[in-house]
Every structure is written in structure tokens, then in C-alpha cells.
Structure 1
Amino acid sequence: MAASQPIISGAPILLEPGFKFRPTDEDVVVHYLRPRAMNAPLPSGFIVDVDLLSHNPWELVPEGSAEKYYFSRRVTRWPRGNRRKRAAGDGHWKASGKDVPIFSKGLNGRVTLMVGLKKTMVFYHGKAPFGENTEWVMQEYRLAEAGLMPGRVMRPREGGNFGKCGCAAAVIAKKNDELSEALRNAIANLNKVPILVNPDDSWVVCHIYKKKKKCAMPRVVAQSYNIAGGGQVPFFDFIGQGNPERTASSSSSLTGPPSGER
């Protein structure tokens, strides 16, 4: 199912019982999608790669789960075209509504910039443009504007050597198993330099879930409401219009003088 293995920074985050993975739109774009598009380390391994077009949505959401996030690549219909393939599994994905912009201060820390777009799609069983509507929904996150700006990523030096004192550091790191994670990362970065990388705009994050059904009003409640009003909904006609059976009694009781003042 997985197309490739993302780079994870440190050990995967283990949540306590009762806690769930609930990222905001900004978290998805800034902390997961943008690093994945630059092949940079990710904060955790909750989102993995998948070939979305090879599966039906119900095959991607594990049994007992309500939703799932995946990395995937958008594929164009033609080599030089901009239109994307939407056929997947036994059906196709169809866009619903307009794209929603996603803003963040994470790239510069001062000015709020648009970093991505979110598109909602519904899965149809069958070939486009026909097909049967299903309850499966996908929110597709993609980079846009500031999210596509080049970013600095640590890459190995050319030649692959540590320099004069790098060999000693490598030997220490290999023999000492009790080194802290921060020290191991520092030693590993001795042979890396920051370079500017352009994000790959073909990467997207897909949030797949099943739409919840709306609960209808119970018939028992509706029947008791009608019976309480004698089969009709009682009301006072303050402007003298509406229910002809109650207009006369309502207007006389509201406009006529009290019996004691005649």
C-alpha cells in the first residue's frame, strides 16, 4: 500500500488512551505536508504514504476507525496537462464546493500568509461522469503560494566525510549506546549542510472519512405535539390574518374592552 517511507524525526509519538490525532488545517499543511514535499523529517509517523488511486476509500480506513490521513501524489491525466486523475478503485472522486484557503504564521512568524488549499470531494461508485453517490468523503490538502516557497533542509555533504574530528565522533557514537537522542542527532548532523529545496507540489494529504447520517425527528414526538393542539398548531393571530377559524375569537379577546368597564 505504501509508496515510500517518509523520514521521521525521532521516535513516533505515543498518545495516551483517550487521545486522538486531531490536527488543525494549519498543522496538516505546515508540519506534515510541506516537510513531506521537501523530503524533510516529520514530527511523527501518523501519516503514511499510499497510492490513493489504487484503492476504494473503505479499504483505506481501518476497521473500527472513523477516519484516516494519508500522503499521496496527484497524477495528471496527460503528460503536459494540469487536470488530475480522479478515478480510484471501483469509482471516482468528485469535487464538492470551492477550495478553502489555509493561512499560517509558521513560515515567517510575523505576517499571516496563505500556505495551502483544502478541497472536499465525494466518492462515486462507477465511472465518471456517472456513478452512484456514496457517504465517503475526502478532504485533499495541497500547498499553495507561501507553502511552495523554497525552504532549508539538512542534506549530507558531498564526499561523505566528517572532517578532521568527525571520525572520532563517529566512533564514539557507534560504541556508546547510552548517548542521549539530542547528542546522537547532533553527531549525525556533523556531516550535513542546509540547502534550499523547492517543495514538490504533487504531494497532498488526504483526510478520508465516512459522512455521518442525520437523525430524523421521532414520530412519537410529532404525534404527541399534534394531539396536544387538537390536530392543529394553536396560535394567536395578532394582525388579523391567517387561521380563519380562530381570527374572530382571537381579535375579540384582544381588541374588545374588558367586561367590567362597559
Structure 2
Amino acid sequence: MERKPSAVARHGVLRLPPGFRFHPTDEELVVQYLKRKVFSCPLPASIIPDINLGNFDPWDLPGGCEEERYFFNQREAKYPNGSRSNRAARSGYWKATGKDKQIKSAGFSQVVGMKKVLVFYRGKPPSGIKTDWIMHEYRLACPETKACIFPQRKNSTHNSVIPNGDWVLCRIFKKKRATNMEIDAEEGEQEGPIANNGIRFIDFMGQRDRDQSHPSSCISNSSCVTELSDGSSNGEENSSSRSIP
């Protein structure tokens, strides 16, 4: 019997064996992981840990900072009688951006979840400083809808239809920025040649002369001044024209 690869726990985060990668789709995250978590059903793999995001800054979360990290988090209300979630962290807060995206099942085109994009800001709102940390927060569309309910098995004593807490699934990563060398290379391709001393020149004079109405003397791509500076050909033509009386 073939043995399935098992995850290894390190520093509070379950890691897959070497060679295995965890790259689920949005639908898989909602249906196979979040939905099962909410209704207390067995997960396909115990690879996503539970965590309270309010106790961590994104760079202090368990796991490698260079990798995408996945966590289950229970949402907390910002106010006792309100529906807004508490987005505060140790030294900043998560701020939502854009509209929520619907996640549909591939087979039935039913809305099974919602995806919210958030950005981490240092400091306190509204004067926080934006960072490169991004979070995708997945939640069930509505636990009472048909697409979000697990059918009960016969002779089952476990009521899996009742949601077990307001769980969300979070995917957190750091957005990569282009380096200065990459930016300089792109600008060099767009703006023109660079001199030996590193200073970039733009031929404004040549462009101005080409725009003037001198079609006979400005046929080539070079400037008109360069063409008129060669006096040998002009001298021969003038002398031949004056040799005949």
C-alpha cells in the first residue's frame, strides 16, 4: 500500500515534505478547507494552522517571510453591537481595498465564498503608513445557503450543519517590488542612449530640425548640420557649374 506524504510541524507551522508545494485555487481554499473548518469536518490535510492575527504583525507570523502563508482566523467584531471586523494588529492595522470578489464553484456556478483584499498599514488610522504586505481573506458566502451546507450522513451523531464559529481563511504574502537596476534598464529602453559617463542625452535639436520644412537637405536620419559640414562635394559641384561660360 502506497504511503501518503505527511506534513511536518516546525515552529508552529505545518510544512510539506521537500518537493511538494501547496498552491490551491480560490475555490479549493473555500470548499475543501474553509467550509470543512466552519462545519467541523475533517480537512484534506492538516497544513493550515489556527492563529489570532490580531496578536501578530505580518512579518512576525510563523513561517518564512518569502513564502505565502495560510492561516485560519476567527473574526472578532470591532464594536459589541456592530458587524465590522477588528483589523488591528500589534503595530498597525489591515485596511480593505477594492470590492469583494465572488468565488463560484466550477461545476454548478454557485457562489460558495467571498474574497477580500487587504493591505497592512503601520501606525494608527487614518494616518498609517502603507506597506507591501497583502492579505487575501476568504469567507463563506452564507453558511445557510445550499452551496455551503454539508449533507448529514445517516446514523451520524455529529451535527455538521451548524457552523462552528465565524472562521475565515487568510492568505498572506509580501508584494515584490522592482529593483533599481530593473527600473533603470526599463527607462533606458524607453528614453534613448546613455553616454559613457552615465548621463542620458535626448536629441531635441535633431528632432526640431527634422520638423522644419527642409526636405532636400534633411533626407537622412542624422541632423542637417552634419550634412552641410561636408564642403568637398559642394565645392566640386560649384566649380563644375562655373566652368562653362
Question: TM bucket by the smaller chain?
Answer: 0.5 to 0.7
The offset of 1:90, in angstroms, is 1.3
1:96 match: secondary structure: strand
- Are 2:126 and 1:125 aligned? no
Q: Which amino acid aligns with 1:211?
A: K
- Are 2:150 and 1:151 aligned? yes
Return the alpha-carbon distance in structure 2 between the equivalents of residues 113 and 86 of structure 1. Answer: 29
The offset of 1:222, in angstroms, is 2.1
2:54 match: secondary structure: helix
Return the alpha-carbon distance in structure 2 between the equivalents of residues 127 and 214 of structure 1. Answer: 28
CA contact (8 A) 1:34 1:147 kept: no
The offset of 1:129, in angstroms, is 1.9
* Greater relative contact order (CA < 8 Å, ≥ 6 in sequence): 1
**Counterpart for residue 18 of structure 1:** 19
**Counterpart for residue 113 of structure 1:** 110
Moved more, 194-203 or 58-67: 194-203
1:127 match: secondary structure: coil
The offset of 1:33, in angstroms, is 0.3
Q: Which amino acid aligns with 2:120?
A: F
Matching of residues 1-262 of structure 1 within 5 Å = 12=6, 15=16, 17-63=18-64, 65-105=66-106, 109=107, 111-145=108-142, 146=145, 149-153=148-152, 192-193=156-157, 195=159, 197-200=161-164, 202-215=166-179, 216-218=182-184, 222=188, 225-227=192-194, 231-232=202-203, 243-247=207-211, 248-249=213-214, 253=219
Q: Which amino acid aligns with 1:142?
A: R
Return the alpha-carbon distance in structure 2 between the equivalents of residues 52 and 227 of structure 1. Answer: 49
Return the alpha-carbon distance in structure 2 between the equivalents of residues 36 and 81 of structure 1. Answer: 24
The offset of 1:244, in angstroms, is 3.6
Return the alpha-carbon distance in structure 1 between the equivalents of residues 37 and 183 of structure 2. Answer: 46
CA contact (8 A) 2:27 2:105 kept: yes
Seen in structure 2, the aligned counterparts of structure 1 residues 149 and 64 have a Cα distance that, compared at 3 Å, is closer
Return the alpha-carbon distance in structure 1 between the equivalents of residues 76 and 36 of structure 2. Answer: 20
Q: Which amino acid aligns with 1:217?
A: I
Seen in structure 2, the aligned counterparts of structure 1 residues 154 and 244 have a Cα distance that, compared at 3 Å, is same
TM-score normalised to structure 1 length? 0.64
Seen in structure 2, the aligned counterparts of structure 1 residues 131 and 40 have a Cα distance that, compared at 3 Å, is same
Q: What do residues 87-142 of structure 1 show as CA deviations (whole Å, max 9, x unaligned)?
A: 1111111111111111114xxx5x21011111111111112222111111111001
Which 4+ stretches in 1 moved above 6 angstroms? none
Count of residue correspondences: 199
Seen in structure 2, the aligned counterparts of structure 1 residues 147 and 218 have a Cα distance that, compared at 3 Å, is farther
RMSD: 3.5
CA contact (8 A) 2:140 2:148 kept: no
1:31 match: secondary structure: helix
Give the share of equivalent positions with the same residue, in percent. 37
Return the alpha-carbon distance in structure 2 between the equivalents of residues 45 and 233 of structure 1. Answer: 64
CA contact (8 A) 2:57 2:92 kept: yes
TM-score normalised to structure 2 length? 0.68
1:66 match: secondary structure: coil
Seen in structure 2, the aligned counterparts of structure 1 residues 66 and 196 have a Cα distance that, compared at 3 Å, is closer
